[in-house]
Every structure is written in structure tokens, then in C-alpha cells.
Amino acid sequence: MTTAPQTNLEKVLARLIDRKPMRSEATLQADVRQLLLDGGLNLDENDLSVDLETQVGDGRRIDIEVGFTAIETKKDLRSAATLKDAVKQLGGYVHARTEQVGQRYVGILTDGADWRAYSLSGDNLVQVSRFEVKQRTSPTELLRWLEGVLATAEGIRPTPDAIESRLGADSVSHKLDRATLTALYEEHKGLPTVKLKRELWARLLRSALGTQFEDSDVLFIEHTLLVNSAEIIAHLVLGIDVRDMQPSTLVLGQRFAQAQIYGVVESDFFGWVIEVPGGEGFVRTVARRLARYDWAKVEHDVLKVLYESVIAAETRKKQGEYYTPDWLAEKVVTDAVTAPLDQRVLDPSCGSGTFLFHAVRRYLQAAEDKGRPLRQTLIDISDHVAGIDLHPVAVALARVTYLLAIGRSRLMSDERGPIRVPVYLGDSVQWQQRTDLLDHGHLVIRTEEGGMLFENELRFSEHLLADAGRFDTIVNELADRATNRPPQSKPSLTTLFNRLGITSKDDQQELTENFRLLCHLVDNGRDHIWSYYVRNLARPMWLSREENRVDVLVGNPPWLSYRHMSEEMQELFKDMAQSRKLWRGDEVATHQDLSGLFIARAIQQYLAVDGTFAFVVPNPVLDRPYWSGFRAGHYPDPNETVKIAFSGSWDLRRLRPHFFPRGSAVVFGRRMHAKIGEAAQGNTPVPLGKTTDRWTGKVPGRNSNWPQVEKWIKREEKKLRYTSEDLISSPYRTRFENGATIYPRYLFFVEMQEVGPLGLGGGRTRVRSERSSTEKAPWKNLPDLEGVIEKEFIRRVLLGESILPFRVLNPRLAVLPIEGSSTLLSGEHEHLERYPDLAEWWRIAEQQWIAHRNTKRLTLEQQLNFRHKLTEQLPGTPLRVVYGKAGMHVSAALVDDPNAIIDHKLYWGTVATLEEGMYLCAILNSPALTEIVRPMMSYGKDERDIDKAVWQLPIPEFDPLNTGHLRLAEIGAAQAEHISELVLDESKSFVKLRQVIRSILADSPEAEELDQLVRLLLE
């Protein structure tokens, strides 16, 4: 059905938004109906009528009914009373229809200008989306919103843009689904099976993500929706009509078992939906929405797009979840997998399956080129391309991605045989290596008893793992029999043993014990989630056996920073990194992350000798000093030392736009033979070279493929500039320290308030939290602190934004519990109590911190004085040089206020004389210094993390007898005086003000001479 001419729709919309008192509801209904019929919403093709005044069944009539949506019209919803009554009326219709049709029913309330979508949450009608039509609103915008509610479009091509706009977090479709699922969970989260699944979900993600993981119901609900959607998409990839399928069949994947496609959809952490009343209706609704897309037409990792569209960017950033662009994964796989039919490939951190998608496609193309039969190709592929991930949502998505890579035509071919999708839930690092899951020839899985996870054990002899299909069948049958038997009974397993040829008495006894424990778990409400758990842990453990290791490792390991790991994980990480010579000490601990250890462990466990690898890594791997242990390629271990021959790298940090929050690189190499006690001759590791393949250019669109991107990229061989923390190039390095961590800011930074005509008494003032648009959750959502404070505790604070080249802007004010050269917080706060106003402020601040902090290890006092960065500044010194820790250019100034506190966005160092201060400021503010130091900076999106990189340069200590030093001090003093006389508009951003000053300095008479002096000094 074609859309009516735009002019006709505009006329209809003009009438709809005209809330004239004389307009009747009948006229409004007719206009709404015409908009729906003429708006290109595919209503005729779907055999959906737009009915007026339809009977609900109890004498009430729905104004307009379309499919599973009731539309109630009112002449004007601007009255609160009218709106309240209308919502109540609509709620009755939606509740009645929901009970009648057995799935979610949606309500729309409108007066033509105001459109509101509602969904049931329990017995309450909840608004989930709103669209307001303005004078300049296009009919297309309103129709797009309506289609999201009505879900009438068909045959939609699932492009990344379509997925994001129609299924992403901001879409009406997603908001409706999430509202329904949230209500289901809130009502039933106390059930034992639901609690168990959420408990195991949280445990795994805490292991995978450390303190970056936020254990919240909201995230569990989002993950449930994602996985249920992925499981439905898996059916649609095969061309299965999901609209009339039983929800339990969809979620449990019974049709896949019938089709001999194993390991795609199974009972997992998110199957709780079909176990609760109302859950089946929810699954039907999601299935109906997803069936509108043509999933046969997929040429990329579409589930990665779905995940990133649903999970908030801030949540993904905190958890380090940034997936590799398709074009990069495609190129890495092409270069790493040189003989796809002869190499076994594993991605040990597969995420949503981007690398798997391209590895599968590469294998299938090679098999097709060789003329191999499809049946044998699809049987063999599960032994040639596999993935592991510790994230249960990632595993669910990657399994469907694997199917998408195979493609519907191959999956539906009569020529194919059984298919096993080899994507497993497992821990590739094996954090608990001391209590290995393989114990004396057995796979050991601990289950929950007595409030402790995995206390009792399921044990399976290792030889049972060799045949994946047979092992899966054994575990599934044990779980199914335990679940479906009469309560408290324990049926015989003789028929199972006979059918599967289990003749060993030891195996029979072991499986009988496992069955007993599974029955016990089921009887206590701890259902057969354990079959899912056992089968997923089995295959990674089997792959780690030396005889089963793969030929190629590819992927993007987790970039989890040390500072975001849990305390337990930090201890394990440090221990494992130290033993492998990957640990660089406490000073740079916060800069280290999991990726290096992850790669070393993955190679140790999964890569065969002479096998090759290609991993996407943080760019500092190439040249930062704290990665020197990794670059050495020698990772000792008591069990099995790993030696590497690195073969090259790609430096990707200069590509634009940025596809990760940090600069990235790719490293390549080969595993060498390195058994304990073996002679070292001819077996020396080959470190990562100082020459890299540097890529520059602009990537044309985030969802481009490699042939499209290749044309826009320039590649050239470049030398890396190494720095060394062991070599202190400047004596000033030890004299400069990072400022204090005054965070969260709203607890400390304040604005002065009027005190009123009566005053407050001697030495006291009224203050209120100073707020900023840059605050992050949860702090930005909390109320201001306000009260009275003793004036002596209001301190001036310099932030990063306070410093311009040669100039200090007005400081901010903060409430800080400082007295003399220390804080008042030691000794159970007895000193603090001498100042009742400050004590009251601090008590409230502590309560807010304890309630909302993301780490349980630091008190507010420890946070404020982290690593003594506050007390190290006390008492203040007369002259300090400060510079910003981040920025595209170094900005420095001389601070002559001894009472000012320096924030952590600055570095500070005391100087003895004004001349020494001007000497340093002249050097630090010079464009030459920024140019020389930039390659040494650590990388965010650009080279902008200055920190102490400047002191890697040979900046000598100021010598008053050195004429060159004195001239630099003179130039610094002249430029400082010139900048101090400028009239600046301080309402503008500090970034703009810095640009203005740099421009003025560049035109100054001393600019050329300063550049020459600094280059002579440093180069």
C-alpha cells in the first residue's frame, strides 16, 4: 500500500492538532483512522482493519482498534482531570483485551496533538512513550512513532540503522517490551528458580567485569530481553514462523533439536520468563515484533548492533564493552587465518561473535571453492571455528551470529547434516586456576548449597567430554529426567546407559551420583540450569588439553583496568601477572589491564605449538613502559611456560572516527616450544618489534566492510618511540605529584549563599553544593548539600580548567576538613567534633557516599586523601608550578597562593625561586615541547593523557649560572606578564581561552627564539 500524497497527510495532521472547542470526538476519530489507513503502515497487507467503536464485551466500546492496540481519543488532554479519567478508561480496555488475547495489548491516548503509549504493569497502566505534534512536525515523524507501537511493517531489512531505530533503547518498541518485562520480573523475582538464575548471572558477570559490573535488576531485565530476542531471531534465521509457536518451544529451542542444530537455543539464565504467569504472552509479543524483519538478509554481526543499541552507552563504557568493528574483524581474520580448511580457529573472548562471523564465512567460502559437499562442510565447521566468552549474554548473541554467518540457504538445504554451534560459556583466564575444574581426570562443577555457590559437586570423567554430542545428550537427559520425574523420586538410569552405550561401572556410578544431586537441586527449586552450566564449561576445558589445542587464536580480549577489578580479582591478577613477568609495580598498577594476562593465558591454554595469534589490544601495548613484560614474549609459569615470537603490529590510534574509547592496535605472533627444563637453544622469544604498520585515514561509516574501508586508509611502516620508567630523563619527575581526588564534587565544592539580615555569628558562612552539567550518575541525580560552615574550612581549589598558559583563573571553593598540615578525620573524628557545622556537613556527605559509592573499600576520608594526595600538599609552599594532566597541548602556570589546594586533574611541583618557575613554565607552554612529548603520551581518543610524560624528556634542573636557562626564565616572565594583562571573557570555556592565549603567544616576539631554545634543550 502506498502512502497518500504528503499534502493530504499534512492536511489531516493540521486538523488533528487543531484543538477547537467545537470539534467532535467523532471527527477526531475519523481523522485518526484516515491517518492510519493512508500513512503507509501496511495495514491492508497484514489483514488488519482500523475499526471504530469496537465492543470490548461488557458494553464498553474502544474508539479505534488496530491489531493489538486500543486507541482512545479525547478532544483535549491538556486538562489534568481529563487525562486522569482517560487513562483510567483506557486501562480498562487494555486489561480486558490482554486477558482475552493472551498477550500484551497496548493502549494509545490522543487528542490529535498529544500521543501517549501505555502498557500494563501488573494491574496498572503505565505510560512508556509520548510524542507531541508541533506546527512544523512532519506526518512522517508521527507515523514512524505509530509504527513502533502498532508493529505493522513487514519485510524490514535488518540493517544496523533499522535495528537501532526500531529496536534500540530509544524506540517505542523497546520501551513497551521493557515495561512489560519489568512488571513480570518485579512480580515474580522471589521465586527460587528466578533467584537462582539471577544469582548465577551476577556471579559470572562479576567475574568477567570486576567492579565495573553493576549488579542491578535493570541490567538483568535488559539482558533477559536481549537474549530472548536473540533466541527468537535464531528461529527466524531458519525461516521458522514464530508467530504461532508455543513460547516454551521458542525459549527452550526444541525446534532446533528436531532440526539437528545443537548449541544455539537452550534453557539458560534468562528462561525464567516462561516459568512465570504472563511470561508466555510476553514472548508471543516479542516474537510477533521480530517476525517483521527479513533475517535472511544479514551480512554483518547484527546482534552486536542490537546489544549496543539497547544497553546504555554509559553502562557499556563502565563495563569495557566495546565490540570490534566488522571491517577490522574481517581484516584480522583474513590475515590471521591463512589456510581456513586446515586451521582450527578459536576466539577466546568472542563477545557477540564478530570474529566468529568472519571466520565462519572464510571457512565456508574456502570449502565452496574446493567443491566440498555441504553436508561434510557443516559437520566439520564446528571443529574449525569456535568461541568462548564469560558473558552469558554475549554467548547467546554469538551463537545466533554463528547461524547468521552460515546463512539460511545452507541451513535449510536438504544436503546438510547435523550442526553443532561451538560457542561456549567459559572463563578463558581461568582465574580459579588453583582449584582447576579438571581434577584428577574429572570435570568438577560445584553447585549451590547452604548459601554458598558451587559447594556440592557434579563430577564427569574426562573421557566422556571427548564426544561433544554424546556428552551433551548425557547431561541433557540427566537434567530432563531430574526435572520431569515425580517429586522426591529417583528413577533408574538403566535405559539411558543402554541406549548411549555407557557400560563402565565407574561411569554408571558417577552419573548416578550426578543424577542424585540434580534431583536434589530440582526438589529444592534449583532447576536444571545446571545442564546448561555443565555443558558450557566442559568444552573449554576439553579444548585446553594439549592434544586438542587450536592453530589460530583471534579476537579482542577484555580491556578491564586494574582499578576496576574487584579486590579479589586484583589479588589474583597481581599474582598471576607477577609470575609471568607482566606486573610492573604499584606505581603504574592503575594503568595495567587484563588484556595482556588474558592473551598470555589464552595462548597457554588453547594455542598449539607453532600456532599463530592476532589480537586487538590497547595501543599502549606497542610502546608504553608498563607493557614491556608483555612485549618481551616470555611468560614463565610453574605449569607451562609460554614463549612467543611476535611477528608484527598495526598501530590504529590515528584512524578517525574513533571506534573505541581508547587508542587501539593489533599484535600478531606465533607460539614457540617451551616446555619446562627444555634447552633454550633455538627457542629464544622474539619481542614485539619497534617498527609498526601505522594506519591513518577516515573510516567511512561504522558498519562498513573491509573493501570499503581499505580505500580510505593509508598504511606506512613507522618506528615507535619507546619510553622507559626505569630511566628518569628529568630530575623534575620526582618533584611533581598528582593533585587530590576531590570527588564526588558536589559533596565538596560549594557556592556562597546569602546569610540574611541577622547574620550567622563570627566566622561562619552559608554554602550550597556547586553543580555541574558534567556530573555522572548517581551523583547528578542526588539533591544539593546546603548548610552553614566555619569559614576556615572553605578552601580555594584549582582544577584542571583553572589553568591557562601562564595564567590562573579564579579558583573554586570547597569544604575541606583541613587544619594546619593535616585533616581532622583521624582518630574516629574526635577533632572534627570541635567544629559542629563542619561535622554536620561531613556526616551528611558520608551518608551519601556510603549509599551510592561504587566501591565498598574506600571510606569518604580515604577517597578524599587517596594515596595522601591531599595531605602531601599541606602545608602549602609559596611557589608551585602546575600543569594539566590531560589535553592536546600542555598548559602550565605559576601558583603563588600557598593555601590553594590542587585537584587531581593537575600535577604540581614546588620551585625555589620565581626564575625557576618561569623557566619551567616557558618550557612546558612551548609548542615545541607538546610536539616532542606527544608520542610519549598515553592514548585516550587522542594523545591527550600528559601525566608525567613530560619528564621523560631531558629537562634539566634550573641552573641560575646557565645563560640558556636564564634566557628561558626571562622569556617566561615576559610572556607571563603579557598574558596577565589580557582582558579575557571568563564566561567562555577554558578550552577556548587556552586557544586564544596560545594564538597570542605564537605571535609574540619571543616565540621563535623560545622554540629554538626548547628544541636545543630537548633534542
- Does residue 144 or residue 726 have the better pLDDT? 144
Other beta carbons within 10 Å of 911: 22
Q: What's the whole-number mean pLDDT along residues 894-905?
A: 96
Which of 80-84, 286-290, 718-722, 972-976 has the weakest average pLDDT? Answer: 718-722
Assess whether pLDDT exceeds 80 at residue 455: no
Task: With cut-offs at 50, 70 and 90, classify the pLDDT of residue 759.
Answer: confident
Does residue 1 register a pLDDT over 50? Answer: no
**Is the dihedral angle over the CA atoms 486, 487, 491, 497 positive or is it negative?**
positive
851 φ/ψ angles, rounded to the nearest 5 degrees: -70, -25
pLDDT tens column, 338-369: 999 999 999 999 988 999 999 999 999 999 99
pLDDT higher than 90, residue 881: yes
pLDDT score for 449: 44
CA 746 to the chain's CA centroid: 26
Q: Is residue 267 over pLDDT 80?
A: no
pLDDT tens digits for range 807-829: 999 999 999 999 888 888 755 55
- Which of 122-136, 549-563, 858-872, 908-922 is most confident? 908-922
Output the pLDDT for position 478.
86
**Residue 954 backbone phi and psi in degrees, to 5:** -80, 60
**pLDDT beyond 60 at 448:** no
Query: Is pLDDT of 747 > 80?
Result: yes
Count Cβ neighbours within 10 Å for each residue of 162-174 and write b for 16 or more, e otherwise: bbbebbbeebbbb
Of 523, 520, 530, 388, nearest in space to 460 by CA: 530
Other beta carbons within 10 angstroms of residue 122's beta carbon come to 11
Give domain limits for the chain.
Answer: 6-154, 179-425, 433-543, 559-609+618-662+671-719, 734-1018
Name every residue whose Cβ is closer than 8 Å to that of residue 991 and which is 6 or more positions away in sequence: none
Three-state secondary-structure class, residue 334: helix
Task: Output 653 or 797, whichever has higher pLDDT.
Answer: 797
Cβ-count burial of 265 within 10 angstroms (0-12 exposed, 13-18 middle, 19+ buried)? buried
- Of 281-290, 828-837, 875-884, give the range with the top mean pLDDT: 875-884
Torsion of CA 378, 384, 385, 391, to 10 degrees: 110
pLDDT of residue 292: 87
Q: What is the pLDDT of residues 519-575, one digit of tens each?
A: 887 777 665 566 776 766 677 777 887 888 999 999 999 887 777 777 777 888 888
Is the pLDDT assigned to residue 435 strictly greater than 60?
no
Q: What is the CA radius of gyration of the chain?
A: 33
Tell me how far apart the alpha carbons of residues 166 and 160 are, in angstroms, rounded to a whole number.
10
Q: Do residues 92 and 103 make contact, with C-beta atoms less than 8 angstroms apart? A: no
> Is 434 a residue whose pLDDT tops 50?
no
The residues near 318 (Cβ < 8 Å, ≥ 6 apart) are: 212, 214, 564
Q: What single string gives the DSSP state of each residue in 222-288?
A: HHHHHHHHHHHHHHHHTT---TTS-HHHHHHTHHHHHTTEESSS---TTGGGGGSTTHHHHHHHHHH
Give the burial class of 833: count Cβ atoms within 10 A of its Cβ; 0-12 exposed, 13-18 middle, 19 or more buried: exposed
Of 10-24, 312-326, 430-444, highest mean pLDDT? 10-24
pLDDT reading at 680 higher than 50? no
Q: Which of 357, 358, 347 lies closest to 389 in space, CA to CA? A: 347
pLDDT value, residue 113: 93
More confident position, 942 or 580: 580
- pLDDT tens readout for residues 18-38: 888 888 888 999 999 999 888
pLDDT of residue 843: 92
DSSP-assigned states of every residue in 824-846: S-STTTTTGGGSHHHHHHHHHHH
CA distance 735 to 551: 50
Measured CA to CA, the distance from residue 407 to residue 360 in angstroms comes to 10
Residue 418: which residues within 8 A CB-CB, separation 6 or more? 260, 261, 262, 379, 469
Looking at residues 193-216, what average pLDDT do you find? 77
Total residues belonging to the chain: 1019
Reported as a single tens digit per residue, the pLDDT across 33-58 is 999 888 888 776 455 578 888 888 77
Peptide bond between residue 778 and the one before it cis (omega within 30 degrees of 0): yes
The percent of residues in the chain predicted with pLDDT above 70, rounded, is: 89
Q: 88-120: per-residue pLDDT in tens?
A: 999 999 988 888 887 778 999 999 999 999 998
294: pLDDT strictly greater than 50:
yes
pLDDT of residue 5: 60
* % residues pLDDT > 90 (the chain): 41
Q: What are the residues facing 907 on neighbouring strands?
A: 738, 883
Q: Tell me the torsion sign for CA atoms 369, 370, 375, 379.
A: negative
Contact 880, 714 (CB under 8 A): no
The mean predicted confidence, pLDDT, of the chain is: 85
CA distance 151 to 106: 11
> pLDDT (tens digit, 9 = 90+) per residue, 910-938?
999 999 999 999 999 999 999 888 777 76
CATH-assigned architecture of domain 6-154: Alpha-Beta Complex (3.90)
Please write the tens of the pLDDT for every residue from 401-421. Answer: 898 899 888 988 888 888 889
